[in-house]
Amino acid sequence: MYEYRPPLRDYRFVLHEVLKLQEETGIAGYAELTPDFTGSVLEEAGRIAREVLQPLNAVGDAQGCRLGEDGEVTTPEGFRAAYDMLREGGWPALECDPDYGGQGLPSVLGLAVGTLNSAANMAFMMYHGLTHSAYKALHAHGTEAQKRTYLPPLASGAWMGTMNLTEPQCGTDLGLITTRAEPGSEGAWSITGQKIWISSGEHDLAENIVHLVLARTPGAPAGTRGLSMFVVPKFLPDAEGRPGARNAVRCTGVERKMGLHGSATCAMAYDGATGWLVGEETKGLRNMFTMMNEARLLVGMQGLAVAQAASDQAVQFARERLQGRAVTGAQNPDGPADPIIVHADVRRMLLEQKAFTEGGTGFLSWVAMLNDAEHRHTDAAERERAADMVALLTPVVKGFLTDEGFRSATVAQQVLGGAGYVRDAGVEQLVRDVRIAMVYEGTTGVQALDLVGRKLGLKGGKPIMTFFDYVKGYIRDNEDDLHLAHQFLGPLKEASKDLQRAAMFFMQAGMKNPNAALAGAVDFLHLFGHVCMALVWSRMAKAASAALAEGTEDTAYYEAKLATGRFYMSRVLPATKLHLARIETGAEPVMDLPAASF
């Protein structure tokens, strides 16, 4: 029976030997992030993931969420008890503002905890993830009274939250939203409309559910500039802030999905529901988007997390399953056959996963650190620099980690052969669950459009220049280390040049025809992702080499890091050339064909 093994050693390596969090004293709260502290938080999170959440993953898949005739939604058996446990442990408050009942820990630790938990049970963690997004939106744009009402119960986990954007006629194109908000009495509004695909729209885990809803006010302009954000609680808070009268919002359906069955994806009907404006009228979409970066990092995290769980299981399977003999001679001569981990192609598959998940852990943690620097750094220039990098890298994290996370999970499934296709082993569920991460919070195509259409040109190209400068500086500072230079910095430099050439192509060709850039946008996103991974692998290789040079009892660990890094650089990174070749074909191959001829 598979048991999830949280990669605690990898987090110690990434957080303390590569990123060296404690040395980043300019970021408020980082000095306290000692290896002992992060280690004990992650160990406990890993224990919960292994003992509580992972055993519920198959249960959630098998049972799904049921909509009763009363409009209430029942989550799978055990979800409520598990959530109560998390709540009692104070986990929902981890990253929340201490002024409103939170623990105020940085995002770099919050995302690591989220990764371990989502690896064990992505569907279960959806409830918390959406709550946290609603929390952030209210924290950023709510009035002080709204904050006092909603933030403490959201931070404690007593209440939970949702984001209501999608409608039947619009997913990506929110300008088509038709949900209306009419002014009511005492500053309240009356909300009417249909929303679909609302994660955690209705469930039985919390005392109250706080919906944030995009709707159109009377006379507001058409398109996205006419949208406002409203807070619409399931139960209207009474004078003491407790859940009071039932609001006119109800769940009319729970989607039947490919996966993520434990997460209630709801159709919601607002029928003159009472809501309150959050932030300024007609600024709803802009305000929603202030937390979009973090929501997208969370989804990228899901891609990584599920790939990590799948990879862990594939390795365990490959060590135990006996089939065939090593081509160079039996490795398990006393057994009926060798474990399949001896076969070159099985190792190739395991290494693809290992290189992705370990590199991805470094990549996501680095961006989480930049995110912390954006919000917590004492130096304004550092905050701005970090904000630029986060804006630039967020679509890359989201698109690359979900596309590659899904791919990696299917590779794990392939390692298991037939066992990967039947339900019992559970890997097929991971593939079905993680598939949605490439779609929600903006598809990979939407991320690529954001990256190429908006982020590249932001501030006259300053963020991308900052990124290239950082890579160049890193190479320059380390090229005296000949070993590192040959195996890591050389390929990094080469890949980075491919990225520069692609950006240059977009600037030139895209000026004449925007489709010349957009046709290669997803390739650009992946090219960018590989350069980030190459950078992170170079940094990890440096840290591993340093540890080996200093002398360590953990030789095998650091040597494995170097071997895995070399695999990435030599076998995975050359993908940048393919992406560049595709990008440089421009608009024609994609735009030539008339729509009727498809």
Closer Cβ to a copy of itself, 16 or 435, answer by number: 435
| Distance of closest approach, residue 500 Cβ to a copy of itself, in angstroms | 19
> In the complex with a copy of itself, which residue's Cβ is closer, 452 or 536?
452
Q: Sign of torsion, CA 464 512 578 448?
A: positive
CB 569 within 8 A of CB 488: yes
According to DSSP, residue 205 is labeled S
How far is Cα 440 from Cα 48, in angstroms, rounded to an integer?
27
CB of 199 to a copy of itself, least distance (A): 11
> Can you tell me the distance from the alpha carbon of 370 to that of 372, in angstroms, rounded to the nearest whole number?
5
* All residues at 6 or more sequence positions from 129 whose CB lies less than 8 Å from its CB, including other chains: 114, 199, 295, 298
DSSP string for residues in 545-556: HHHHHH--S-HH
| Cβ atoms of residues 208 and 225 within 8 Å | no
- Cβ-contact 425, 313 below 8 angstroms: yes
Coil/strand/helix, residue 374: helix
For a copy of itself, the closer of residues 307 and 518 by Cβ is: 518
Q: How far is the CB of 518 from a copy of itself (least distance, A)?
A: 4
- Tell me how far, at minimum, the Cβ of 336 lies from a copy of itself, in Å: 6
Least CB distance from residue 593 to a copy of itself, whole Å? 5
Minimum CB–partner distance for residue 520 and a copy of itself (Å): 8
Residue number, 194 or 414, with CB nearest to a copy of itself: 414
Number of Cβ within 10 Å of residue 50's Cβ equals 17
Strand-pairing partners, residue 268, are 195, 251
Query: Between 41 and 446, whose beta carbon lies closer to a copy of itself?
Result: 446
Q: Which is nearer to a copy of itself, 40 or 169 (CB)?
A: 169
- Packing angle, helices 521-550 and 490-512, rounded to 10: 160
CB of 522 to a copy of itself, least distance (A): 6
Region label for 496, one of left (φ > 0), alpha (ψ between -120 and 50) or beta (otherwise): alpha
- The span from the CA of 260 to the CA of 518, in Å, is 31
Mark 307-341 as b/e (b = at least 16 C-beta within 10 Å). bbbbbbbbbebbeebeeeebeeeeeeeeeeebbbb
Within 10 angstroms of residue 64's Cβ, the number of other Cβ atoms is: 20
Of 107 and 444, the one with the shorter C-beta distance to a copy of itself is: 444
CB of 259 to a copy of itself, least distance (A): 8
* Cα separation, 518 vs 586, whole angstroms: 9
Token pair, residue 176, equals 């088509």
Distance CA(454)–CA(461), nearest Å, equals 10
Cβ distance to a copy of itself smaller for residue 369 or 580: 580
Give first-to-last CA distance, the chain, whole Å: 48
Residue 506 and residue 515: Cα distance in Å, rounded? 10
Residue 329 to residue 339: CA distance in whole angstroms: 13
Q: Report, in Å, the least distance between residue 53 CB and a copy of itself.
A: 22
Alpha carbons 278 and 295: distance in angstroms, whole number:
18
Report the C-alpha gap between 183 and 436 in whole angstroms: 36
Identify the CA nearest to 579 among candidates 519, 532, 491, 537.
519
Alpha-carbon gap, residue 85 to 546, rounded angstroms: 41
d(CA 412, CA 32): 37
Q: What are residue 592's phi and psi, to 5 degrees? A: -60, -45
By beta-carbon proximity to a copy of itself, the closer residue of 8 and 337 is 337
Q: Smallest distance from the beta carbon of 567 to a copy of itself, in angstroms?
A: 4
Residues marked active site are found at 441
- In the complex, minimum distance from the CB of residue 395 to a copy of itself, in angstroms, rounded to a whole number: 13
CB-nearer residue toward a copy of itself: 322 or 511: 322
Burial of 145 (0-12, 13-18, 19+ CB in 10 A): exposed
Our CB check for a copy of itself shows the closer of 101 and 223 to be 223
